Amino acid sequence: MNGTVMVFGSINADASYRMTALPTPGETVIASTASASPGGKGANQAIAAAAAGAVTRMIGMVGDDSEGAAQLAALALRGVDTDSVTTRHGVATGRAVVFVDDSGENSIVVLSGANDLLDGDVAATGLASISTGDVLVLQNEVPAAANRAAARLAQSLGAKVIWNAAPAPTAAADRVHDIDLLVVNEHELKQISGILGIDATGEGPGSSALSALLAECARALDADAICTLGSDGAIFFADGLSGSVAAPKVRAVDTTAAGDTVVGYLAAHAALPMGERLRLAAAAGALAVTRVGASSSIPHIGDVVALPVAPTERTPA
């Protein structure tokens, strides 16, 4: 286990609606159920890190509305330190509307609210105590300039930085420098490769092509890298080796927050070798998709370690 996990990122109030199939443009569908829960990629990843056993601190911003107070209470209930979350007067807390179909797939619309006001000053205040052995986690639901400031400060003080480049960056200005680990899905990997000037058009289909692309991106970023592949597990590039980890076979009912679960578990167990670390995170993500909801689906480590161990394969890159 490493030191404190500090998550700099978004906090949202989630409203989720379940339906037979996601609506197409111009279509109205009837939802079968509705629920509310804490959300935002930052908050979800903080809850996941705490569930994985790490001392976890959330650094973010909420509004002075009822949703903001509710999100802070929910984070604290899941064991996350919220002392570094700022409440901004006259601003709305971030919100998200989540649509989930019967196969577990989702579509999400986010209104940033207070999350859009995070900046380097908030990062500096929240990260004042970060040091060697700690881990900083970043995502793309807050301004890129704030992320870059947080990453630069954390690395200068000896901490490791994980960048979950989600939602997928669309321009070079969205890139975060000073990172130790990149975590993406397949779509985000291809977006990152374009930003880095790496041509992915000739890579072709298949995991071996994705592994080669992941290795190129990792070298360009001077960082380790992981690409999650849903039910197919994940591939990684670390210490000059490419590898893959299978995911436990489960029946998915809701994929919301599965990726955030993986990121939080990776942060909580940064001291483990990459293969072992990713096996644990993949198992946590697989268990999350068997449960309904966003942060409510994130499993405790005691439930995760009871799952069958997924195999790891390594090959020279």
**Annotated catalytic residue, options 14, 224, 254, 260:** 260
260 among known catalytic residues? yes
Quick: pLDDT tens for 70-101.
999 999 999 999 999 999 999 999 998 989 89
pLDDT at 42: 97
pLDDT at 308: 64
Quick: pLDDT tens for 257-271.
899 999 999 999 999
> Is pLDDT above 60 for 244?
yes
CB 44 within 8 A of CB 257: yes
pLDDT at 98: 86
Structural domains in the chain?
Answer: 5-23+31-316 (3.40.1190.20)
pTM of the predicted model as reported, rounded to 2 decimal places: 0.91
Kindly give, in sequence order, each residue whose CB lies less than 8 Å from that of residue 115, ignoring residues fewer than 6 positions away.
Answer: 9, 10, 11, 12, 40, 42, 60, 61, 94, 141, 142
Crossing angle of helices 258-268 and 274-288, rounded to 10°: 150
Instruction: Please give the helix or strand (H or E) that residue 66 lies within, else none.
Output: helix 66-77
Q: What is the mean pLDDT of residues 116-142?
A: 97
* For the chain, percent of residues with pLDDT exceeding 70: 94
Quick: pLDDT tens for 149-197.
999 999 999 999 999 999 999 999 999 999 999 999 999 999 999 999 9
pLDDT at 40: 93
